[in-house]
Amino acid sequence: ILVDGNSASASEILTGALKDNKRATVIGSRTFGKAAVQSVHSLSDGSGLTVTVSRYYLPSGEDISLKGIVPDIRQELTLEQRQQLSSQPGWRGTSKDPQYGKAIAVLKSTTASEPGNLSQPINSGRVW
């Protein structure tokens, strides 16, 4: 799973669950750390009030609020790389994106050298 500081909320729930259960390798940079469920209440003056109504934790019990998920394989971007990707959004998910390139290299390496190491279905009897 490829993540960065823009990965938040629902994507962190999925990433954290798969990582904790050793069902995925997480690559990239630390996620945002939004482990809260919020409700927005509209006010009569047109403004709104956001209230945190719930929190979630990873299957391990870890609270990722404000600290995010640390990838298994870190591929940080330099300031220059972040600026380039920001000014050239079409580069994301291409060979010009260092994090994407790292993820593809890891995927190719894993499938080529360890074909038997690919994820297999879990039959734990538990329902999620």
Among all residues, which ones are annotated catalytic?
9, 34
Comparing CA positions, the residue from 65, 63, 39 lying closest to residue 53 is: 39
Quote the strand ranges of 10-58, DSSP E: 27-28, 36-42, 48-55
CA distances from 45 to 42, 48, 51 (A): 8, 8, 17
Quote the strand ranges of the chain, DSSP E: 2-3, 27-28, 36-42, 48-55, 73-74
